[in-house]
Chains A and B, each alone.
Chain A
C-alpha cells in the first residue's frame, strides 16, 4: 500500500520536476444568468492543444509555460467564449457563459461542439443535465431523476413501481446515491413510483458505472452523483409547477449579490388534499402524503474561500386512522468549504450528516399498541485535494471517515396490557479510507489515470455477536455460541486495497479507445429478498458473519465523434465484472426484527458482463439518443438452484432505449421515449401437491429463474407548450410552459410478474383444488398527465 502511494507521488513529482518555469491560469466557470457554477465545462488551449475540465465545484486550473495563449471556454448548450491571454504570471480567470437559448440559437451555428466524449480518459459514465430530465416524458408528468437514468445504457429495473435501479448487473443496494456528497439510503417516494429529488433544485447528475475514480468508494456497482443548484446569485427567481402528483415551488435569490445566495425548494403530493372532502378516512385522522424540502446556501467569502450548506428532508406519511400508520424518509445535511491554497491546489472539506428512518405504529386498542422504529444514520468527514501539477498531471488525494449507527429495531409496546420489547441492539461502525490518484497525459496519444484507495471498516461494541453452525446450505443456521463485547471493543475489522486504473488511446481527434480496471468494496449490505426493494429493507453492516462485498470490473470501450460538426457521439463499451460475498437468503428467511438475521443469510459470488452501445445526437432540432445493452448477470450461491449459476431477477439480455426530442416550432416541442427489454427471469413450478388443504407449488428440479417473462416494451410521448413570450406587445415578466404527456401510449400490459396460486375460494376437504397462473401488469393502461410550470 505504502509502496503504491509512494509510486504515484513519485510519478507526479517527477512529472512536475520535468517542467521549467510554469504559469497557472485558474478560476471558476459559471452560468451568466444565475451565477451557478458549471460542472464539466471545458477549457481548451488552442496553441498547445491541451485543456482542462471544471471539477464538481466549477473550478479549473491549467499550468502552461509563459507565452501568449488563446483559451476557449465552452459548455454544452452554452455559447463559448474565446479569450486571449499573455501569461507571464499566475492568473485567475473566472468566466461566465451564456446559456440563454433564445440568444444561443444564433450563436450555436459556430459554437464548437464538446468533445469530452473522446478527449477525456473518463469512461462508463453518463451525465444528464436537468434540462434533459425535465424534457423526458415522465410517469404522471413528474420529471424524475431516477426514472431518467434508467434510459441510459447499462441501467435496468425490475419493473414499474420498483424503487432504485440496477447498474451492470448490480443490485439496488449496490448503488451509492450522493446528494451534495450526502448518501441517500432510499431514493423513492411512494415505494418506487417517484424519486426524492426535486428537479427544481438539481443542477447536474452524473452516473458512474465503471472506472470509478479513487475518491469514491463504498458500493460495488455505481455512483450517482447528484449536485444541487447553488441558488441564483444575481436576482430573485421563483420556479414552480402544478403536476398530477406534486405541487412544487422553489425560491432562489442572492443573499449578497454575486457573493452569497440560497435556494429553497419544496414539493408535496396533494392528492389527499383534493380527496379530503370525499374520503372520511382522511377527515378522521388518516393521512396519505409525501413531501420533500431541499435547501442550500453558499457564500463566497473571498476568491479563495467558498462555503456551502445544503440540506434535504423528505418523508412519506401514511396513516390509516389516528393511531395507526407509518412513515419513512431521508434527512441529509452537508457543509462544505472550498479552499484554494494556491492556483494549483484546490481543496474541499465536507462534513455530512445523513439519516434514513422509518416508524410504524399499530394501536389496536389501549391494551394493545406497538411502535417500531428503525434507522441508519451517519456522520462523514471528507477532506479532498486536487493538485493541478501541470497540464499533463492532475493529482487527487484525500481521505474519508464515516461513522455509522444502525438501529435495526427499536420496537415494543403493550400486549394485553403488559409491556413487551422486541428491540434489537444498535450497531456502531467506522469506515475510513484514504486515496490518491493521478490523471496523467503520457503523450498526445496516450493518457492514463491510476490511483488507489485503501478502506478500513471497523465494527465495535457494545454488542453481542453470535456464531452459527455450518448447516446444509440453504437452511437456517443455528446459533452455537455468543460473545458480548464492551463499549468501544473491536468486534470485526476489514481492510481492503482498491486499485483503480484507466487509459485512453487517442487514435485521431475524433476517435479514442479507453479501458479500465476498478476494484470496489462494499461494507454495507441492503438486506432485501423481495422483487422490489421496499422502505422497510434494512442496511446491515459487515460483521464477523457477513464479509464485505468485493467487485472487480474490467471495461474496454470505443469512443467516436461523428458528423461535420461532431453532432453525434458514439460509444461502445464492454464490461466484465466478478463479485464476491454477495448476499442471498434462505427460503423463508425472516429479515425484519430478527436477532439471528445472519443465520438466514447466504453468501455467493456473481458475474456480470455485457456490451453497451450508445449513440447520441447532441444538436439540431432533433436531439436524443439510442442506447442498446446486451448483458447477462448471474449469481452462484450454495443452497440455491442446486448450487449452479442462476440469473438475477433483473437480468435482461436485450435492453433498448430510444429517446428523441424534436422542436416543432418556437412554442411546441415533442419528446418521446421507447423502451424495449427482454423479459426478466422468473421461477415457475412444474408440479403441485396438497398438504392440509393447501395447494403447494413444487419444482423437483429446484431451479431458480428457469423461465423468462414476456418482453417489456413501452412508448411514452409528451408535448411541451412554451407560454407566450409577449402579452399585448410587451415582454412578459415570467415564463411558463405546459406539458401534456402520455405514458404507455399503446396501453401495453407489460408483465411485472407471473405468479401461481390456488383459486381464492375456500376448499372443502377432499375436493380437488384448482390452480392458476396470473400475469400482473403494475401499470396496465395508458396514463395521461398534464402539468403547468412557471418561472419568474
Chain B
C-alpha cells in the first residue's frame, strides 16, 4: 500500500524533520553466488539471459560475469531454444531469432536449464496473456488538489477477464527507462493484490498512474511527473504469480525513501527466486526467470 505510506510520511514531514547520515558499516563476508537475470519476452529481436555473481554490498563496479555456462530454454511442446554465449559481452547468453520469429507462445510453459561450474540450475515459467494498451492520457491536477500544477500521465488498459493474470507495467519517459525501485508498477488482475477480486476491469488508478515518475530537482523541489511536450512509451509485460510476489518483495526491500518511512519498514530479508539448484545441497542461486508477452504504446504529449 504505497499510497498509505506516502500519506504517513507527508504528515510527519510537516511537523518534524528527521536526520540522516551516510555511513560505512562493516558487513559480514559472504560467498559469491550465481545471479540469473532471465526476464525474457516476446518482443522482436534477440533475447538475453545474463549470468553474474553477487558482490560485496559496497563494491561499486559492474558485477563479475559468469562465462562458460550452457543455457537452454525448452517448452512443453518440445521446442528447444539455445542461448549461446555472446563472445563480445561476457556473461550474456543470447537467443537469436530466425527471420521475424518471436520468442514463445502465450499459454506455453518454459523450462530454463543452466549448467555452470559443474552444477545444474533450473526454473519454470508460463507465458501469460497480456491486454493491449488503449491510450495514454495526460491530465493536470484539479486546482483543489495537492500540487495543482502537476501533470499526471495514465495508461488505460483493461485486465483480461478471468483471475490469475499478473502484469508488470514498465515505462520509458523521454527515452529514459523508469527503473527506480519506487517505480516498480505491478498489477494482479486489475488490482494490487493476488487475492483481490478486482478482475476484468480498467486497471486501478495506482497502476494507471504508476507510469508517472515523482522526481525532485537538485534543491529537493518536487517536479511535475510530465510536462506537455514530453514523450512516454509504456509496455505491459505478463508475469507469473511467482514473479509478481518477487517484484513486490523487491519493491519492499529496495524502495527505501528513508526518513519517517523507516518507522514502517519491514525487516531486511532476501527476495524470493524461482531458480533452484537441482542438487538441494549444492551452491546457492538467486535471480529470476520469466517469459513475458508484451504489449506497448508510445505517445508524445502535445505542447500547449
- Seen from chain A, the residues whose Cβ lies within 8 Å of a Cβ on chain B are 161-162, 190-193, 271, 281, 284-286, 288, 318, 320-324, 326, 360, 362, 364-365, 368, 415-416, 418, 420-422, 475-476, 529-532, 534, 536, 585, 587-588, 590, 592-596, 649, 682-702, 704-707, 749, 752-758, 760, 762-763, 765-766, 768-781
Contact B270 A698 (CB under 8 A): yes
Give the residue among B145, B245, B250 with the most A Cβ atoms within 10 A. Answer: B145
Q: Which residues of A contact B61 (CB under 8 A)?
A: 768
Contact A774 B245 (CB under 8 A): no
Shortest CB-to-CB span from A601 to chain B, Å, is 14
Q: Is the CB of A765 within 8 A of B193?
A: no
Proximity string of chain B (197-211) to chain A, C-beta cutoff 8 Å, 1 when within and 0 when not:
110011011000000
Kindly list chain B residues whose C-beta atoms are within 8 Å of the C-beta of A760: 180
B270 touches A702 (CB 8 A): yes
With both beta carbons as reference points, the residue of chain A lying nearest to B215 in the complex is identified as A762
The answer to whether B57 touches A271, judged by C-beta atoms less than 8 angstroms apart, is no
Contact among A757, A758, A777 with B19 in the assembled complex (CB-CB below 8 Å): A777
Q: Which of A326, A588, A699 contacts B245 (CB 8 A)?
A: A588
Given contacts A422-B196, A691-B35, A776-B18, contact A531 B252 (CB under 8 A): no
CB distance from A439 to the nearest CB of B (A): 43
Interfacial residues of chain B within 164-214, with CB under 8 A of chain A in the complex? 176-181, 184, 190-191, 193, 195-198, 201-202, 204-205
Asked if A707 contacts B25 (CB within 8 A), the reply is: yes
For B14, list chain A residues within 8 Å (CB): 288
> Do residues A700 and B30 form an inter-chain contact, with CB atoms below 8 A?
yes
Q: How far is the CA of A538 from the CA of B14 in the complex (A)?
A: 26
B56: contacting residue among A322, A687, A696, CB under 8 A: A687
B161 interfacial by beta-carbon distance below 8 Å = no
Whether the Cβ atoms of A689 and B287 lie closer than 8 Å is yes
8 closest cross-chain pairs (CB), A and B: A780-B19, A686-B30, A588-B249, A693-B179, A416-B202, A687-B54, A683-B268, A530-B264
Given A191-B12, A321-B145, A704-B269, are A696 and B263 neighbors across the interface (CB < 8 Å)?
Answer: no
A749–B19 CA distance with the chains assembled, in angstroms: 8
- A777 is contacted by which of B18, B58, B145, B198 (Cβ under 8 Å)? B18
Q: Which of B11, B29, B60, B271 contacts A696 (CB 8 A)?
A: B271
- Pick the interface stretch among B2-10, B118-126, B221-229: B2-10
Nearest chain A CB to B5 CB, angstrom units: 9
By the criterion CB–CB under 8 Å, are B181 and A757 in contact?
A: yes
Apart from A415-B201, A649-B267, A693-B177, list 19 A-B contacts with CB within 8 A: A190-B15, A318-B11, A320-B7, A531-B262, A534-B8, A595-B196, A686-B28, A687-B30, A689-B54, A689-B55, A694-B179, A694-B181, A696-B253, A699-B28, A704-B269, A753-B262, A755-B265, A757-B254, A776-B258
Q: Report Cα–Cα, A777/B4, bound state, in Å.
A: 22
Known A687-B56, A776-B259; judge A416-B201 contact (CB<8 A): yes
A700 touches B284 (CB 8 A): yes
* Given A321-B144, A368-B205, A776-B259, A696 and B8 contact (CB-CB distance below 8 Å): no
Q: Give Cα A753–Cα B59 distance, bound, in whole angstroms.
A: 22
Assess whether A698 is in contact with B39, with CB atoms less than 8 Å apart: no
Q: How far is the CA of A190 from the CA of B32 in the complex (A)?
A: 44
Q: Which of A691, A762, A773 contacts B180 (CB 8 A)?
A: A762
Q: How far is the CB of B244 from chain A (nearest CB, A)?
A: 10
Q: List 19 A-B contacts (CB under 8 A).
A: A190-B15, A364-B205, A415-B198, A415-B205, A418-B201, A420-B201, A536-B1, A588-B252, A683-B269, A691-B287, A697-B57, A699-B268, A700-B33, A702-B270, A774-B256, A776-B18, A776-B21, A778-B260, A781-B19
Contact yes or no, B268 A692, CB < 8 A? no
- Chain A contact residues: over half helix, strand or loop, or mixed? loop
What residue of chain B has the Cβ atom nearest to residue A161's Cβ? B263
Determine if B116 is an interface residue (Cβ-Cβ < 8 Å). no
Question: Given A596-B195, A699-B270, A702-B270, does the pair A773, B263 have CB atoms closer than 8 Å?
Answer: no
User: A191 vs B270: C-alpha distance in the bound complex, in angstroms?
Assistant: 28
Contact of B57 among A161, A191, A686, A753 (CB under 8 A): A686
A672 to B7, CA, bound (A): 35
Q: Which residues of B contact A191 (CB under 8 A)?
A: 8, 11-12, 260, 263
Q: B27 interface residue, CB < 8 Å from A?
A: yes
CB neighbours (8 Å) of A705 from chain B are 267
Nearest-CB residue, chain A, relative to B269: A587
Are A697 and B201 CB-contacts (below 8 A) given A687-B30, A768-B60, A778-B18? no
Which interface residue of B27, B35, B177, B269 has the most chain A CB atoms within 10 A? B269
Q: Which residue of B lies closest to A316 (CB)?
A: B11
**Known A-B contacts A271-B15, A757-B181; A699 and B58 likewise in contact (beta carbons under 8 Å):** no
Closest Cβ of chain A to B107, distance in Å, is 22
Q: Is the CB of A765 within 8 A of B177?
A: yes
A595 touches B24 (CB 8 A): no
Nearest CB in chain A to that of B188: its residue: A590
Q: How far is the CB of B269 from chain A (nearest CB, A)?
A: 4
Contact surface of B with A, Cβ cutoff 8 Å = 1, 3-4, 7-8, 10-12, 14-16, 18-25, 27-33, 35, 37, 39, 52-63, 142, 144-146, 176-181, 184, 190-191, 193, 195-198, 201-202, 204-205, 245, 248-250, 252-254, 256, 258-260, 262-272, 284, 286-288
Q: Which residues of A contact B263 (CB under 8 A)?
A: 161-162, 191-192, 530-532, 534, 752, 778
Q: Which residues of A contact B53 (CB under 8 A)?
A: 689
Q: Is the CB of B23 within 8 A of A691?
A: no
> Are A536's CB and B201's CB within 8 A?
no
Residue of B at shortest CB range from A245? B15
Find chain A residues with CB under 8 A from B176 CB: 762
B271 touches A587 (CB 8 A): yes
Contacts of A364 in B (CB 8 A): 205
B33 touches A779 (CB 8 A): no
In the complex, chain A residues whose CB is within 8 Å of the CB of B204: 415, 420
Residue numbers in A under 8 Å from B28 (CB-CB) = 684, 686, 699, 701, 706
Q: Separation in Å of the B166 CB from the closest CB of chain A? A: 14
Contact A690-B144, Cβ < 8 Å, known A683-B269, A685-B268, A760-B180: no
CA distance A777 to B39 in the complex (A): 38
With both beta carbons as reference points, the residue of chain B lying nearest to A707 in the complex is identified as B25
| Partner among A192, A415, A692, A781 whose Cβ is within 8 Å of the Cβ of B202 | A415
* Contact among B16, B19, B267 with A776 in the assembled complex (CB-CB below 8 Å): B19
**Alpha-carbon distance between A752 and B263 when the two chains are bound, in angstroms:** 8
Interchain nearest-CB distance for B277 vs A (Å): 13
Tell me the bound Cα distance from A567 to B3 in angstroms: 55
Q: Tell me the nearest residue of chain B to A706, going by C-beta.
A: B28
Chain A residue nearest to B10 (CB atoms) is A320
Q: How far is the CA of A592 from the CA of B1 in the complex (A)?
A: 8
Name the residue of chain A whose CB is nearest to the CB of B21.
Answer: A775
A688 near B54: Cβ-Cβ < 8 Å: yes
A596 to B144 Cα, complex, angstroms? 38
Neighbouring B residues of A771 by C-beta, 8 Å: 57-58, 60
B35 touching A689, Cβ below 8 Å = yes
Which single residue of chain B is at the shortest CB-CB distance from A364? B205
Residues B256 and A689 in contact, CB atoms below 8 Å apart: no
Q: Are B33 and A698 in contact (CB under 8 A)?
A: yes
Closest to B202 in A: A416
The 8 Å CB contact of A774, one of B11, B258, B264, B284, is B258
A694–B23 Cα distance when bound, in Å, is 21
A713 to chain B, nearest CB (A): 16
Q: How many angstroms between the C-alpha atoms of A543 and B29 in the bound complex?
A: 43
Cα-based distance from A312 to B202 in the complex (angstroms): 43
Are B195 and A696 closer than 8 Å at their CB atoms? no
Q: Which residues of B contact A323 (CB under 8 A)?
A: 144
Identify the closest chain A residue to B190 (Cβ).
A415
Asked if A593 contacts B272 (CB within 8 A), the reply is: no
Name the residue on B nearest A762 (C-beta). B180
Whether the Cβ atoms of A774 and B57 lie closer than 8 Å is no
What is the chain B residue whose CB lies nearest that of A372? Answer: B4
Contacts of A475 in B (CB 8 A): 272
**Set of chain B residues within 8 Å of A781, measured between Cβ atoms:** 19
> Is B254 a contact of A758 with CB atoms below 8 Å?
yes
Q: A756, B256: Cβ atoms under 8 Å?
A: yes
Q: Which residues of B contact A534 (CB under 8 A)?
A: 8, 263-264
